[in-house]
Amino acid sequence: MKVGVVVWAEGNIVKFRVAEGVRVERGQLLKVYDKEVKYILRVFDFRPESLLTPAEIARLSHKRERGEDVVLYDKSLRLYDTAIATIIAQIEEDAIVHGPTSVPSLFSNVETLDELDLEQLNLDNGDLVIGYVRIGHKATNVEIKLKGEKVFPHHILISGVTGAGKSNLGKVLAGAVMSVPEPKYSLVLFDTESEYFQGARPGLFGLVHLPEAEERLFYVSNIVSEPTKVEFRFTYKGVEIKRRIFVHPLEISYSKLYPLDFILTGEFTPPQEELLWLAWKTKRSDWLEFLTESTTSLIYRALSKMAHVNTINTTKRKLRHMLGSGEIFKKNDVETDLLQAIIGAVGRGKVVLVDMPHATEGEEKLLATAIARRIFKVYEEIRKNAPHEWEKLPYVMIMVEEAHKYLSKQSLTGISDVRENIFSIISKRGRKYKVSGLYITQMPGELIEPVIRQALTKIILSLPTRPDYQKIIEYSPYLDEASQELKALDKGEALVVSPVSGLRFAVPIKVFCFEDIIKEKLDEELAFKSVKVLDKKKYGKTFTTSHDT
């Protein structure tokens, strides 16, 4: 459908006159076909064009204010609307999407995109599907699929205000990873709100409802006391469905923790780090209990007065804060090895979900650091010592909720020094070892610049605050004219920037609703079971599947 005519073009910017009676939206994708080149445009602003004199405007507005009819002769010539768009791509005769290198001629027609145009943009040739391409606020039928092998090594940044749909997107991405036929990717999730496994509240869905959960989900929770498969039951459309999920207890013995697990939280000063190492060298496996349970004077003497008393007191307080009440980190030895079990699950391409709704902030930070450190360490060692085996390992991505707590200037800078933590290390070095971060934050403006730059895939939900969207725009391609659009996004709408996935522009998308994905899969599962029942009745044979109830 024709929506307007080009009236001006310069650089990558095109202004077109909007046809009368046509509605054009900010963020809408359009096309211009000129000289055998198809230009793809994205609208980012509007501007009325008026040839009326100030006196005419004053007279006509005054009449309108008094409720009188306003008659304007030659209105279409003297007053009309224009839209301003940026050229995001051009498609030439070879049907290959290129960056814009020219501009359309004046008076070329501007038209809406059809399904063929969207297919030519090659937005659905990946293996991680996350949503539909969006035209304005309307979703199309064209899916947006990211190339996991390209996206996973280079980090993903998800940003948006509270309520924009970040948690839904996290579940959609986890579901996409679980749905990949081969276990090429592993995703480690930390859930402090208990919304990923069974849904945030009754009536909602979680990862356990996916048919793939039985084979691809590794669940860590305090609902069990030993590693085992647990049967979860739920009812859908009057049919009871069962899932047998492997569950590992959420517990770690003090003896499994090392000084680096605490140091790489970024919470300890150099003198406190030295104290941790000194205690470990002196007491080995008992070092942690020694520091937390012994008196300051005893520690001072046992370490040959090599640590200051104030340093000992401060370190003890920080250790106790991170170890919490003993629900997760236990003084006594436990029969399980959670950290090693997670390493094994990652190596088999599982989605690892660590459910810790009652964890304190200190426990959360220590647990996430201990897990991430070991994953990075194992991948690094295998890469250096057995590169052929490393090639076979799945890519692993570790979710960092509220990433600004770990990767802001404030969290990485002490009074007079710069502190590293495991996630800042992964952000800089993880790509070499197939380890990356999934950074989720509502305050991207607080993140350090290298994290934003190195996250080559960005999924930007609604961001109305200037410091946040300006920082994203500053360190991302294809977003130069996107500030107004980012502020106007509705819940579940996003712009996707992923040059490593072959996307040559910021793609407007409508993220899948996770509940809709589950319903579609459950409908397929019920239909499959119905066919099996009919086959049994028809042929008198017994068929078994992993989901028979």
Burial class for 22, CB neighbours closer than 10 Å (0-12, 13-18, 19+): middle
- Name the phi and psi angles at 325, rounded to 5: -90, 0
Give CA–CA dist 70/443, Å, rounded: 48
Q: How many CB atoms within 10 Å of residue 89?
A: 21
Give CA–CA dist 237/242, Å, rounded: 14
Give CA–CA dist 150/72, Å, rounded: 57
For the question of whether the overall pTM of this predicted structure is more than 0.95, the answer is no
- Residue ranges of the alpha helices (H) in 66-190? 75-78, 115-120, 148-151, 166-179
User: What's the average model confidence in pLDDT over 384-403?
Assistant: 96
- What is the bridge-based pairing of β-strands 109-112 and 2-10? antiparallel
Domain ranges, ordered by start, for the chain: 2-122, 156-161+169-249+336-459, 253-329
- What is the bridge-based pairing of β-strands 13-18 and 2-10? antiparallel
Give CA–CA dist 221/271, Å, rounded: 35
Burial class for 426, CB neighbours closer than 10 Å (0-12, 13-18, 19+): buried
The pLDDT of residue 546 is 37
Q: Positive or negative CA dihedral for 523, 525, 526, 527? A: positive
- Higher-pLDDT residue of 157 and 415 is 157
Give CA–CA dist 183/526, Å, rounded: 25
Tens digit of each residue's pLDDT (9 = 90 or more) over 265-294: 999 999 999 999 999 999 999 999 999 999
Give CA–CA dist 508/343, Å, rounded: 36
- Higher-pLDDT residue of 288 and 68 is 288
Give CA–CA dist 205/196, Å, rounded: 8
Give CA–CA dist 432/517, Å, rounded: 34
Q: How many CB atoms within 10 Å of residue 314?
A: 16
User: What's the average model confidence in pLDDT over 66-95?
Assistant: 89
For domain 156-161+169-249+336-459, give the fold.
Answer: Rossmann fold (3.40.50)
Nearest CA to 165 out of 442, 355, 402 is that of: 442
The pLDDT of residue 541 is 43
Give CA–CA dist 333/15, Å, rounded: 70
Q: Positive or negative CA dihedral for 292, 296, 302, 305? A: positive
Tens digit of each residue's pLDDT (9 = 90 or more) over 512-526: 999 999 999 999 999
Lowest-confidence pick of 145-149, 349-353, 410-414 = 410-414
User: What's the average model confidence in pLDDT over 93-101?
Assistant: 87
Tens digit of each residue's pLDDT (9 = 90 or more) over 404-418: 989 988 888 755 566
Give CA–CA dist 133/496, Å, rounded: 10
Average predicted confidence (pLDDT) for the chain:
92
The pLDDT of residue 542 is 37
